[in-house]
């Protein structure tokens, strides 16, 4: 219980003092309460991972004004990362780590920039969790998948800390720093990788399409299915309706073009050189180049 001294004027005796009790200040939560946001972090991250535990789906993608859903994800993730950097700047201002006096607009702008950053992650989450699913064909993709699940857990944990109040002073900055670090990790393993990966030059289209004798289209059909090509590309001959990558029936690439793309990757497509044998790459290139556009 705290008290306030109130001075009263009395005509007969002058100034008197009285003590008025006030509401007690709320006590800081003990550190064991940190277990609550930690449990929230674990549950939300695990839920995101379980929702993403499926094979890539071929329909339901959207790209808005981007060239394909992969570039949409990269673009939205980049905007979210930029807003997160602005949040870091305004947070330093709020915690008086900058040499300037904090104006009144900093707090609301800090809150709204965080809300906008989260909104920009939702189209990314839709494609990653509900369409592409949790994947691990390479270390980069595995790390990206894990960080993607952890981001939503970290966001839920930070919101829990903000809403519950009265945590020890260091808890909120640490939660915000973790959320920022995870988001930058998600962005770096996806958008930065995509933007830094220049599409290699492909051979000019040959006329007619030249398929070597040691490349077998029939064997390439099974390679197309087992390598997951159907989740990204549309190809009627394979019963594939993927919408992430180019429509192969419309593109009708030659054997040389498909071979170079499968070997080297580019434009959001990974290289399959380490996943498929040279013979398998030849076979799938023969299959695509001889069946694309067929009725």
Is 3 inside a domain boundary? no
Burial class, 103, CB count within 10 angstroms (exposed 0-12 / middle 13-18 / buried 19+): exposed
- Examine the domain organization and report whether 114 and 230 are in the same domain: no
Cα angle at 186 between 185 and 192, to 5 degrees?
A: 85
**Per-residue pLDDT in tens (0 to 9) along the chain, 295 residues:** 444 444 454 445 455 555 555 556 678 888 899 999 999 999 999 999 999 998 777 678 888 888 788 889 999 999 999 999 999 999 999 888 899 898 999 999 999 999 999 999 999 999 999 988 888 877 888 999 999 999 999 999 999 999 998 999 899 999 999 999 999 999 999 899 888 875 555 444 445 778 888 989 899 899 888 888 887 888 888 888 777 778 888 888 889 889 888 888 766 677 888 888 999 999 999 999 888 877 6
| Pairing of the two strands 234-235 and 2-10 | unpaired
- Examine the domain organization and report whether 166 and 230 are in the same domain: no
Residues 6+ apart with CB under 8 A from 53: 133, 134
Are 70 and 268 in contact by the 8 Å Cβ rule? The answer is yes
Which residues span the domain enclosing 262? 217-291
Is 92 inside a domain boundary? yes
Is 237 inside a domain boundary? yes
Give CA separation, 209 vs 139, 202, 263, 289, in Å. Answer: 36, 15, 18, 8
- Examine the domain organization and report whether 174 and 225 are in the same domain: no
- Examine the domain organization and report whether 161 and 234 are in the same domain: no
Is 7 inside a domain boundary? no
Is 8 inside a domain boundary? no
Is 26 inside a domain boundary? no
Whole-angstrom Cα distance, residue 2 to residue 223? 76
- Examine the domain organization and report whether 182 and 99 are in the same domain: yes
- Examine the domain organization and report whether 171 and 79 are in the same domain: yes
Based on the structure, what is the number of domains in the chain? 2
Residues 6+ apart with CB under 8 A from 132: 52, 56, 57, 231, 244
């Amino acid at each position: 219980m705290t008290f306030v001294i109130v001075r009263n004027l009395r005509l007969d005796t002058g100034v008197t003092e009285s003590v008025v009790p006030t509401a007690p200040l709320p006590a800081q939560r003990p550190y064991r309460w940190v277990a609550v946001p930690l449990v929230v972090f674990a549950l939300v991250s695990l839920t995101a991972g379980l929702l993403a535990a499926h094979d890539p789906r071929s329909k339901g993608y959207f790209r808005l004004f981007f060239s394909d859903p992969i570039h949409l994800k990269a673009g939205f993730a980049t905007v979210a990362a930029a807003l997160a950097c602005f949040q870091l700047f305004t947070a330093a201002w709020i915690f008086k780590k900058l040499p300037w006096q904090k104006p009144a607009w900093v707090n609301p702008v800090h809150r709204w920039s965080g809300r906008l950053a989260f909104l920009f992650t939702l189209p990314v989450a839709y494609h990653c969790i509900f369409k592409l699913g949790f994947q691990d064909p390479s270390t980069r993709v595995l790390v990206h998948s894990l960080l993607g699940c952890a981001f939503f857990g970290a966001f839920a944990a930070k919101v829990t800390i903000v809403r519950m109040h009265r945590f020890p002073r260091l808890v909120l900055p640490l939660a915000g720093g973790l959320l920022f670090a995870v988001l930058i990790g998600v962005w770096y393993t996806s958008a930065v990788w995509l933007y830094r990966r220049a599409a290699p030059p492909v051979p000019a289209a040959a006329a007619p399409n030249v398929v070597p004798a040691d490349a077998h289209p029939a064997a390439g059909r099974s390679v197309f299915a087992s390598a997951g090509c159907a989740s990204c590309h549309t190809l009627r001959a394979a019963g594939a309706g993927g919408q992430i990558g180019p429509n192969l029936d419309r593109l009708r690439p030659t054997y040389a073009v498909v071979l170079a793309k499968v070997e080297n990757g580019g434009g959001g497509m990974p290289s399959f050189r380490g996943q498929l044998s040279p013979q398998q790459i030849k076979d799938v290139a023969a299959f695509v180049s001889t069946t694309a556009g067929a009725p």
